[in-house]
Structure 1
Amino acid sequence: MLDIADELHRWARQGRPFAVATVVATSGSAPRQPGAALAVDDDGTAVGSVSGGCVEGAVYELCQEALRTGETLLERFGYSDEDAFAVGLTCGGVIDILITPVGAPAPGEPAGNAGTLTAALSAAASGDAAAVARVVGGPARLLGRALLVRPDGSVTGTLGGHPELDRTAVHETRALLDAGRTATVEIGADGSRCGEPVRLLVESSVPAPRMIVFGAIDFAAALVRAGKFLGYHVTVCDARPVFATRARFPEADRIVVDWPHRYLETQDLDARTALCALTHDAKFDVPLLERALRLPVAYVGAMGSRRTHLDRLDRLRAVGLTELELNRLRSPIGLDLGARTPEETALSIAAEIVANRRGGTGTPLTGAHTPIHHDAPAALDRIGPASVA
């Protein structure tokens, strides 16, 4: 649901009733992961996707039904059968979808379940960290109930069952929020691990992952565009003010004129951050990479020829980096696409970042027997604006 939070938050502020269908579980070759959503308002306007097209029509009708009845629904869609008009996943697999009607609470009315969901949408649309937990399996009376947890521990909403259910759900939800993850968890209806099972979908909304591009060159401009396309908050840093300008990088979120290593030392970075050194100049690269390769970030890449790479490794060894630390460096940066232009090079770098993040190999899928969708070693970024499964 949080992957389309911007539009849904706008609908909620306008008082437009809508129903949102959310993928809550998948198996096999399902095209979308838990958290992916399709929403339909009372005028029939639709936004989002739950299956890449396979079952959108049927889900659209279920959303309209939920709007008419006000009831929460849980539906399963599986393999397509031989009937060409059957509703199923043409690519194979099974998805469970929760359809929830949402209407803005009347003025002065205490926020109920709809208020919890609209609060979650507001947090996601504003870029604030929060996580929403919804009941997607278990006692029918609890289906669709939600609570919202913020980093400071404050909670909006209730799952409406045993008091210990809320307490345990908050604990589990906060743990997933701390990791920036979206996942399903199962707890007992009484808050224990052995009571009647209640399955929760927890969607985390955290600020966009960061990409910092060091070196304000033409290749950097193309990489900024690719980074923005992938949902990163992109900063360009260069010590030369004549190059690090808004005119050259209109799509960057931030432009910094400073020495790369000095700027890096001022930043609080997390395990989702991608650092791309495009300067290929030892006086910039070595002090930058000396620090970058010791940080707990997701990706560190450096541009340059293979000869430059070997010289860079010698310089980094000389300043004390270990072989284990050097093995984290992606250099020459990017995947082998035969890239030449700035745009092609940006594509190869972006592809390597995605492969690194998702656990991909970078090899062609044609003729391969590897999974199309990999389970990443750690879920490090949000769905759409929010998290990954």
Structure 2
Amino acid sequence: MLDLAAALRAWAEEGRDFAVATVVAVGGSAPRPPGAALAVDADGTAIGSVSGGCVEGAIYDLCRQALRDGEPLAERFGYSDEDAFAVGLTCGGTIDVLVVPFSAGRAVHAAALSAAAAGEPVALARVARGPAGLLGRALLVRPDGSSEGVLGAGPELDRTVREEARALLETGRTGTVELSEDGTHCPGGVTLLVESAVPPPRMIVFGAIDFAAALVRAGRFLGYHVTVCDARPVFATRARFPDADEIVVDWPDRYLRGTATDARTVLCVLTHDAKFDVPLLREALRRPAAYIGAMGSRRTHEDRERRLREAGAGAAELARLRSPIGLDLGARTPEETAVSIVAEIIARRHGGTGAPLTGSGSPIHRPGREVQPV
């Protein structure tokens, strides 16, 4: 639901009534992760997607039903061996979907959409399975632990859900939580979907070169907030990087020391100049980051690694460095190189191998798998 926050907030402000179908859980090979949503308003307008097209028609009908009845409902969709053209997921997986009319818990939903659309970190916990009367009940949780709404099964359940939702929010994750009705961590009583809305992760590109311009475009396409940093004002300009969210003229290592990074941040060092990248990488390797990559030939990397060791970098820190940067795609142009870099970033994030899927036998989708930053 929160992945459609900006559009749904506009619908709410216009006074539209609508229902939202949200993926709660996936099994096997499924095209969209938990949190993916499709919304339908009273006029039949639809936005979003929950399955990449496999079961959109059936879920559209469920949204219309929820609008008519004013009640939440849950449904499971999966592959039909008897009839591949029946409603189902022809990719072979299953998805559990929660459908909730906006009117059910309007105040909490409106607050969640407003916060998420404004870029504020917030978690929305909703009952996806449980006793009659609890389905679709919502609790909004903020980073400081404050909340809005009640689930309706007592204060202990609300307290535990606040703790679980806050923990997921801190890591920017969306997932399910299994609890008992009394709030203890015993599965089987209540299943909650916790959606986290956090500001987009950062990609910081050091080195205002042509390859950086292509990487900036790729980073924006993937949803990163992209910063370009270079000490040379003649190169670090808006004209050269119109797609960047931010352009900084500063010495790279000094800028990095003064800015915030976290476990989702991507750092791409394209300077391949020792006077810039050695002090920069020395700082980067000490910081939280999901990915740290540096451009250059293998000879450049060997010299860079030697200089980093001389500067005090240990084996564990050097193991975090992806250099030469990117996957082996045979890339030559700036655009091809950008694809190789973001391909490695995606593979590192989800635990992919980078190998061709043809003949590999490995899963295409890895639902819920997020490798920890290294």
User: TM-score range with shorter-chain normalisation?
Assistant: over 0.9
How many Å apart are 1:25 and its aligned residue? 1.4
The alignment status of 1:336 with 2:336, answered yes or no, reads no
Q: How do 1:20-39 residues align onto structure 2 when only pairs under 5 Å count? A: 20-39=20-39
How many Å apart are 1:262 and its aligned residue? 0.2
Q: In the aligned structure 2, how far is the partner of 1:194 from the partner of 1:329?
A: 41
The alignment status of 1:213 with 2:205, answered yes or no, reads yes
Identity of aligned pairs, percent? 72
SS of equivalent to 1:376: coil
Q: How do 1:103-114 residues align onto structure 2 when only pairs under 5 Å count? A: 103=103, 113-114=105-106
Q: In the aligned structure 2, how far is the partner of 1:195 from the partner of 1:355?
A: 32
SS of equivalent to 2:61: helix
Q: How do 1:318-357 residues align onto structure 2 when only pairs under 5 Å count? A: 318-357=310-349
Asked if 2 retains the 8 angstrom alpha-carbon contact of 1:181 and 1:379, the reply is: no
1:64-108 Cα offsets, whole Å, 9 max, x none, are 1111111111011111233354211101121111111114xxxxx
SS of equivalent to 2:149: strand
1:256 alignment counterpart: 248
How many Å apart are 1:193 and its aligned residue? 3.2
Q: How do 1:1-389 residues align onto structure 2 when only pairs under 5 Å count? A: 1-83=1-83, 85-103=85-103, 113-194=105-186, 197-374=189-366, 375-378=368-371
SS of equivalent to 1:201: strand
1:206-242 Cα offsets, whole Å, 9 max, x none, are 1110000000011111000000011000000000000
1:172-221 Cα offsets, whole Å, 9 max, x none, are 11111112111100111121234971110001111110000000011111
Q: In the aligned structure 1, how far is the partner of 2:146 from the partner of 2:29?
A: 37
SS of equivalent to 2:33: coil
SS of equivalent to 2:312: coil
SS of equivalent to 1:178: helix
Q: In the aligned structure 1, how far is the partner of 2:225 from the partner of 2:361?
A: 34
Q: In the aligned structure 2, how far is the partner of 1:365 from the partner of 1:117?
A: 40
Asked if 2 retains the 8 angstrom alpha-carbon contact of 1:189 and 1:195, the reply is: no
Which 10-residue stretch deviates more, 328-337 or 366-375?
366-375
How many Å apart are 1:317 and its aligned residue? 1.0
Q: In the aligned structure 2, how far is the partner of 1:17 from the partner of 1:90?
A: 32
Asked if 1 retains the 8 angstrom alpha-carbon contact of 2:178 and 2:189, the reply is: yes
Asked if 1 retains the 8 angstrom alpha-carbon contact of 2:328 and 2:340, the reply is: yes
Which 10-residue stretch deviates more, 151-160 or 84-93?
84-93
Q: In the aligned structure 1, how far is the partner of 2:192 from the partner of 2:280?
A: 43
Which 10-residue stretch deviates more, 75-84 or 152-161?
75-84
SS of equivalent to 1:158: coil
Higher relative contact order (CA 8 A, sep 6+): 1
Q: In the aligned structure 1, how far is the partner of 2:205 from the partner of 2:185?
A: 46
Asked if 2 retains the 8 angstrom alpha-carbon contact of 1:190 and 1:196, the reply is: no
Which 10-residue stretch deviates more, 22-31 or 78-87?
78-87
One-letter amino acid matched to 1:376: R
Asked if 2 retains the 8 angstrom alpha-carbon contact of 1:180 and 1:379, the reply is: no
One-letter amino acid matched to 1:244: A
How many Å apart are 1:379 and its aligned residue? 7.4
Q: In the aligned structure 1, how far is the partner of 2:251 from the partner of 2:150?
A: 49
Q: In the aligned structure 1, how far is the partner of 2:372 from the partner of 2:313?
A: 28
Asked if 2 retains the 8 angstrom alpha-carbon contact of 1:212 and 1:235, the reply is: yes
Q: In the aligned structure 1, how far is the partner of 2:349 from the partner of 2:185?
A: 32
How many Å apart are 1:356 and its aligned residue? 0.7
- What RMSD, in angstroms, separates the aligned Cα atoms of the two structures? 1.4
Asked if 1 retains the 8 angstrom alpha-carbon contact of 2:177 and 2:194, the reply is: yes
Q: How many residues align?
A: 372
Which 10-residue stretch deviates more, 22-31 or 189-198?
189-198
Cα distance, 1:379–1:75 mapped onto 2, change above 3 Å: farther
One-letter amino acid matched to 2:182: D
One-letter amino acid matched to 1:357: R
TM-score (norm 2): 0.97
1:145-186 Cα offsets, whole Å, 9 max, x none, are 001001122211111112211111111111111121111001
One-letter amino acid matched to 2:77: F
